[in-house]
Amino acid sequence: MTAAQTISEWRAALDAGLAPEDVVREVLRRIEAWDDPALFIYLPDEAVLMAEAARVAGLARDLPLWGVPFVVKDNIDVAGWPTTAGCPDFAYTPATDATVVARLRAAGALLIGKTNLDQFATGLVGTRSPYGVARNAFDAAYLPGGSSSGSASAVAAGIAAFSLGTDTAGSGRVPAAFQELIGWKPTRGRLSTRGVVPACRALDCVSVFSRTAADAAAVLRVASGYDAADAFSVKVADAPLGRESFRFGVPAELDFAGDPDTPTLFAQAVKRLESLGGVAVSIDLTPFVEAAKLLYEGPWVAERWAAVGDFVEAKPESVHPVTRKILEGSKGWDAAATFRAQYRLRELARETESVWRNIDLLLLPTTPRLYTVDQVLLEPIGTNATLGRYTNFMNLLDLCAVAVPAGRAREGRLPWGVTLAAPAGRDLALLELASRMSDGEPVAGPKTHRIPVAVCGAHLEGLALHHQLAERGAVLRWKGETAPVYRLYAMPGGGGLPPRPALVRDEAGGAPIAVEVWELEAAAFGTFVAGIPAPLGIGKVELATGEQVPGFIAEPRAVTGAEEITSYGGWRAWLAR
């Protein structure tokens, strides 16, 4: 048994001898003790989880998330596990993992189950599910937040070290505020949404819940990356906030919807950022709020209908009444109105540019107020709109955001939070600031520059030349395959050299080739590259994820007299022939 809850705590327990099978037993014990039948939509039996633990046990122990338990929202695909999106009659069983799940599992993370949500990810409350209301970890009478309700509750209850949610209008931030968590909503397209049931496909983001900003950053490093098979995936270059002494925008007018506690907590958050060296700048939030109104008054509700409308029309009785009312409200939306709304959004985005010229980030209430479950059930649409007042515009305007705990309301019983938001690409910078704000561990680590290198031959772990990486302190970042655009050849040995692989790009006749990506500090990378004999060298290698990293490639002359071994799929397989 272990008391571990964060990624670093679980890794410490695993390094001390805890096995992945022990992690499964401990997590199942916690689930039983928590006793919330509405938390999971799909929780595999122990035998399936033990098989998952055995898979993890067979991976390299130094993978960044080796053995760390996580859960995913049940609108995200896991191979062989049903996806319901909170609607039993909609369920299907995918053959492959969502891209983000595949990346986390490849990094050693141990998947436990799939969690409850507002049906079709439509809602910020956590009450619109036929599976019940996942319990708020602090007070069951209050909202867990939605739509990623179960994903937040699982982390807040200590069942998972981190979890995946989704965020279109605030679903990855509101539950964080209500359950004292970090809720990272990435730059749009930074995390692939391939294998995610769409809500508004052009706006959807996969989000992360964790106890610390450092944990969210650890997931970012593994889960991020361009996915060429996802039309909405983008390549994101990390950017700083912009100034050493940062300036943060505080709206001149805020509406807390009559909550007795949250205005004071927000004022304390302003002072906290000022104590960290920030300068508060009063701003006009009007163009942001006007953009938020478009989300449920414009074509983006029609986009939800495009995702699931055929199902709703075929089986209206299978859809939650509130969800159906929202979706059906878009049926009459016409193309001309769609273009007018898009033009209006572009105008509002241009208006916000003058705000960003004076500030580096926004500080906002994540939600104006706290609601009980009963209050929301009595007025489901109006309360939901209030909760999204300061979240709905962010994906429309392509901002990244981090929800941060900001104290407790109701005489210290109930968490509440604020959100840091900035233009696209500032994800890591916001997480670093969120960590400082919440007194967490730094997310950036030592100020060293590490360079990735993709290897495909004798430098693979356990093979003859791997020591050249190990002795330079290389850290394994990823195992997988290249994009299907390479041929692999075995060059004959000679001159004291063993047979070596030659990786040659061939767009027309190529195939995926097994590789490992290791990271070296800059100086070590330089000495490593200097020792590579011709006709091999370092160029850009395209991975199956779409990312291009430095790696071993061969000059065209390398294939002369060499045996083509592409059909083996990799150097290890050829050696084992």
CB 458 within 8 A of CB 468: no
CB 213 within 8 A of CB 435: yes
Neighbouring-strand partners of residue 400: 422
* Catalytic residue status for 147: yes
- Annotated catalytic residue: which of 73, 149, 151, 163? 73
- Annotated catalytic residue: which of 129, 149, 171, 438? 171
Q: What angle do CA 393, 396, 398 make, to 5 degrees?
A: 105
Cβ neighbour number for residue 445 with a 10 Å cutoff: 12
- Annotated catalytic residue: which of 147, 148, 163, 207? 147
Pick from 111, 186, 191, 183: nearest CA to 153: 183
Neighbouring-strand partners of residue 422: 400
CB 564 within 8 A of CB 554: no
Taking every pair of Cα atoms in the chain, the longest distance, rounded to a whole number of angstroms, is: 81
CA distance 386 to 426: 27
CA distance 351 to 286: 9
CA dist list (Å): 170 to 15, 149, 163, 304, 356: 36, 12, 16, 15, 21
Neighbouring-strand partners of residue 162: 70, 210
Q: Please, what is the end-to-end C-alpha distance for the chain in angstroms? A: 43
Q: At what angle do helices 213-223 and 99-106 cross, to 10 degrees?
A: 100
CA distance 567 to 205: 37
Q: What angle do CA 87, 91, 96 make, to 5 degrees?
A: 135
Q: Tokens for 253, please give them.
A: 């007018």
Q: Looking at the annotation, which residues are catalytic?
A: 73, 147, 171
